[in-house]
Amino acid sequence: MAQLNLSKYESVLADTVKKMTQKGKGLLAADESTGTIDRRFKAIGVENTEENRRAYRDLLFSVSKEASQYVSGVILYEETLYQKSHTGEPFVKVLNDNGIVPGIKVDTGLIELPGTNDTITQGLDGLDKRIAKYYEQGAFAKWRAAYTLNPAKNQPSQLAIDLNAQLLARYAALCQVGGLVPIVEPEVLVMEGDHDIEYSSQVTERVLAATFKALHDHGVVLEYSILKPNMILPGDKNPKGKPDHKTVAAETVKVLRRHVPPAVPAIMFLSGGQSEDESAQNLNEINKVNASKPWGLSFSYGRALQYSAQHTWKGKAENVDAAQKAYLAKAKSCFLAATGSL
């Protein structure tokens, strides 16, 4: 298929990509669903109410001026997209005024793929209309597919890989023709299970190969997209234990070099359950690998940027300042890692 005709929004897409891919800067993934943030809040003894969710996001976004040294964009949950700061300003305006691009998670979650142990992502119904609404907020978009690893059950199935690739590509095409830069997130859940790093590598290669074929088939212009993949890690119950950071980096770069076209401007890794320090150290080593890496290599972290801030805050107003300092310290660490200078 020929590439999409993006003449209507090409300058907008180009400008968004330029803002999002500034050297060293990455994304704050603050797009936790109401259910996901419920688990985060329970861990710190905070009730999961809309006002507490708003207050917590306000904590993060109120230091956007300082955070903009390290963060180029923030992925929001739909509820957050329309909320306001304690000063009465919309969060989107707070971010934009400080040079941080707001984005929005547009998928509606995972459902079981019948006849398999795998999942596919839903959310295409009415997406074109939602994109038009999100465009008014100046947002980019994100869609996540997830793949469970189990060598004994031959997971993920090729059916799940191919269907998720088609869904990711359809989403990306709809975003681009609607003026939004799509973040393509094919997350292989590498840290869950007893498999080795070689199996993680093999599955991630299959997933990336299918994803980029589907993107090509749907005419997606890669220059106006961003990839959000997993790093290559073994399962957390792998009997060999954790590899060192250099091994993770070498395996990750090898897989990316084989399957990610150089037209993609940036690869912004998800943390995928890694700790704050582990995710930063692995990103640092990835950027230090002595091999051609034609894309920017940065971060799009949720827990790995927020864990310390959440556990410092604990829902108490008197802890806001200390929590903000914890968030900024982790953002600076990730920024340094994205330049290989941590």
Catalytic positions, written as ranges: 185, 228
Whole-number Å distance between alpha carbons of 199 and 273: 18
Contact (Cβ atoms closer than 8 angstroms) between residue 88 and residue 117: no
Beta bridge partners of 184: 143, 227
Whole-number Å distance between alpha carbons of 327 and 312: 10
Burial class of residue 50, CB neighbours in 10 A (0-12, 13-18, 19+) = exposed
The alpha carbon torsion through 336, 338, 341, 342 (nearest 10 deg) reads: 60
Rg (CA), the chain: 19
Structure tokens at 341: 């200078």
Cα 203 from chain centre: 19
Beta bridge partners of 186: 145
Structure tokens at 39: 């688990």
